[in-house]
Amino acid sequence: MFGRRVTLFRLFGFAVRVDASWIVIAVLVTWSLAAGVFPAEFPGLAASSYWWMGLIAALGFFGSIVFHELCHSLVANRYKLPMHGITLFIFGGVAEMGSEPATPKIEFLMALAGPVSSIVLGFMFWGLYVTGAATWPVQALGVLAYLAWINWLLAAFNLIPAFPLDGGRILRAALWHFKGDLRRATRIASAIGGGFGALLFAYGIFRLLAGNLIAAIWYCLIGAFLRGASRASYEQLLWRTALEGEPVSRFMRPDPVAVRAGMSLRQLVDDYVYRYGFKTYPVVADGGGNLVGCVATRDVSQIPREEWERHHVEEIVHPCAANNTVSPDTDALQALNKIRENEGNNLLVTDHDRLLATVSPGDIMNFLAAKLELEGGPRRPLLPAGQ
């Protein structure tokens, strides 16, 4: 569902990330405001003023989306729903849940929190606009008016009953409540979301033919995103359901690549790093399979190359991180979440400090694809980035 992501900061324990698509959207927002919206609404200002207004308004829009998604996350946290963070993308963001809501009520409250927060934020910006209307510079008033309007628009757009928008989640909660079937409710809500996305894209083409380039770009981008996101959201429900309850032992890879504690750093680099290309390797005791710890290539790089022959792995070994190891009976969904936290690196499967196997994102993907195909699901399941 996401492409390359960068973590910006942490807020109330949630990691706030930005998807690569947001960079494009931030530039597009600034440009459309500075070149179109503000010159039309406030004629006669210097060109530099329009660009400063566009930049500040774009940052305010960014903050508004963070606030919107944070409210989703706080409600989820209230109901003990695990959250991985907030990722900003295209026309908004997503609060990344570690599992589906337990009940339709939780889904409804989570979904409603976002639009309500945007409406409230819009009135706060409008209140500032009214307060300063007689004395504040026109540039400041223009930005405040825009931020009030864009928050109300964000609330209205998200209330459209098209999954995975908030309105679509409210619709899914209602269908789930009355039909008692989360999977069926998600399928219906996702189909509506995909159809609405197709309509937006088609309308964008119409606006392009009518000569309105800026509006056409926005409608096409939002439509394409919504259509793809609705499909991905349904597939993610399928893979969550498929993985939940499956132990890691079903698909773990035995005979893991491991290095011996007494091995020289030269041998580590020549026989393992250059051959396998991993960033971290499990270290086992000489003559046995007991896990001693882990060694990272960044630790090797701190030692001069000419000294690799006389230094050994045991000198730079460090304890393996808790989020890097699992037991054979660990739930597959929990293992997938650990891989996500570990930035896509392999997991070590251990039993009382004895290294048994490894699990990679590819192992989970292959198991998932096979199971979904046998059960009539999508043949190529979509996994979030980093998983």
pLDDT band at 378 (very low <50, low <70, confident <90, very high): low
The C-alpha atoms of residue 144 and residue 157 are separated, in whole angstroms, by 20
In the chain, % of residues over pLDDT 90: 23
Q: Could you tell me where the DSSP H helices lie in the chain? A: 20-32, 38-41, 47-78, 104-132, 138-158, 166-179, 182-209, 213-243, 265-268, 274-276, 297-300, 332-341, 361-374
The C-alpha atoms of residue 104 and residue 383 are separated, in whole angstroms, by 24
The stretch 246-257 carries a mean pLDDT of 84
Phi, psi of 191, deg, nearest 5: -65, -40
Joined together, the tokens standing for residue 23 give 């960079």
The stretch 228-237 carries a mean pLDDT of 80
What's residue 384's pLDDT?
44
* CATH node for 248-374: 3.10.580.10
Whether pTM exceeds 0.75? no
Residue 385 pLDDT > 50, yes or no? no
* Amino acid at residue number 86: I
Strand partners, 6: 18
Q: Where are the domains of the chain?
A: 5-243, 248-374
Question: What letters, b where the CB count within 10 A reaches 16 and e where it falls short, cover 85-118?
Answer: bbbbbbbbbbbbbeebbeebebbbbbbbbbbebb
Question: What letters, b where the CB count within 10 A reaches 16 and e where it falls short, cover 195-221?
Answer: ebbeebbebbeebeeeeeeebbbbbbb
Chain segment 38-65, per-residue pLDDT in tens: 898 888 889 899 999 999 998 898 888 8
Q: Residue 164, preceding bond cis, omega within 30 degrees? A: yes
The C-alpha atoms of residue 61 and residue 122 are separated, in whole angstroms, by 11
In the chain, % of residues over pLDDT 70: 86
pLDDT band at 338 (very low <50, low <70, confident <90, very high): confident
Q: What would the 3-class secondary structure string for 157-184 be?
A: HHCCCCCCCHHHHHHHHHHHHHHCCHHH
Sorted by sequence, the CB contacts under 8 Å of residue 374 that are 6+ apart come out as none
Chain segment 68-125, per-residue pLDDT in tens: 888 888 888 888 877 666 776 655 666 666 667 888 999 899 889 989 999 999 999 9
Chain segment 164-219, per-residue pLDDT in tens: 888 988 999 999 999 888 888 888 888 898 898 899 899 999 988 888 887 888 78
pLDDT, averaged across the chain: 83
* Amino acid at residue number 327: S
pLDDT band at 387 (very low <50, low <70, confident <90, very high): very low
pLDDT band at 21 (very low <50, low <70, confident <90, very high): low
Closest to 226 (Cα-Cα) out of 319, 92, 102: 92
**Are the beta carbons of 350 and 356 closer than 8 angstroms?**
yes
